[in-house]
Structure 1
């Protein structure tokens, strides 16, 4: 019976992440995650600091960092037939965050890269040393990818908050409605 549970756990780990060093761990890849974005994430990100919810709350209270939400967003399609009902998804995130949707994909085009850089510059100016926190939701590779990209662009105080809004709301912290930048 014990053996069957161990085998089942190993199968779930391998199926969900592609590979695992041990139960409950996901290795940090060399490149970007390009599929299955809603899956367990690594505990680390080279070149960035990984924080807990308590640390995120402290940084938010101190106003010592810029918070960047990277949850994807699907805008209303321009070619919808007349009379089609479109219900915009509402995003509640960490107050004061800039929402830069769709910048956390593993591969981004030049337009998305320019949008991402412009969004960061709007809050950080030319200060590549200012603390910048990337988040999305728990088990979401979008924030990991976005933070990794910022590290590669030369930002020196990149922080990744892997629990994102899930951790934030679980800690009973306030959220506010946000719109894409």
Structure 2
């Protein structure tokens, strides 16, 4: 059984690495507003793209604020009476703040206020502190969120395009998290 789990970990690492190292998209000038689970760019103007190794180092030395932007699935409307609804459990990088749904290409004023409040809760008014955005591999949500932070004047924006897929493939710890 141990060999099986090792082989599975190797396979997952290969899949995650291939997902990112393979096809990439050109960097757009504006936000991505559809097809959020697709190849992402290798760059983000105004931000630094970080590898799994760099992300681990930042996490270990606590030198960056980690922001998970994975969307949270809403409870479906019109569930039949008596249907049990269980929200999906989110396991992310320990110590992260989960700002759900802020990575869409178009966000309303309420979501923008929630996003800004979440960043302020961890960064205060320090726009020079490192802030790392992530989601999952090939997910435009983190790219959009990091781009928005750059446009809002944050100076040390980091983007981890492999997200929790890359993190878990590297056998790093995760924790259950709830949105801010």
Residue 19 of structure 2 is matched in structure 1 by none
Residue 161 of structure 1 is matched in structure 2 by 160
Structure-2 separation of matches of 1:124 and 1:32: 24
Residue 43 of structure 2 is matched in structure 1 by 44
- Give aligned pairs, total: 159
Structure-2 separation of matches of 1:66 and 1:86: 32
How many Å apart are 1:81 and its aligned residue?
A: 5.2
- Give 1:121-136 correspondences, 5 Å limit: 121-136=120-135
Structure-2 separation of matches of 1:85 and 1:24: 40
How many Å apart are 1:74 and its aligned residue?
A: 2.0
Q: Which runs of 5+ in 1 are unaligned?
A: 1-22
Question: Higher relative CO (CA 8 A, sep ≥ 6), structure 1 or 2?
Answer: 2
Residue 148 of structure 1 is matched in structure 2 by 147
Q: Which has the larger radius of gyration?
A: 1
Runs of 4+ in structure 1 deviating by more than 3 angstroms, as ranges, are: 75-82
Structure-2 separation of matches of 1:70 and 1:79: 27
* CA shift digits 1:80-131 (9 cap, x unpaired): 5542210110000000000001000000000000000000000000000000
Residue 101 of structure 2 is matched in structure 1 by 102
TM-score, normalisation: structure 2: 0.85
Residue 180 of structure 1 is matched in structure 2 by 179
Residue 117 of structure 1 is matched in structure 2 by 116
Structure-2 separation of matches of 1:147 and 1:98: 14
Residue 5 of structure 2 is matched in structure 1 by none
Q: Which runs of 5+ in 2 are unaligned?
A: 1-21
TM-score, normalisation: structure 1: 0.84
Deviates more, 1:52-61 or 1:72-81: 72-81
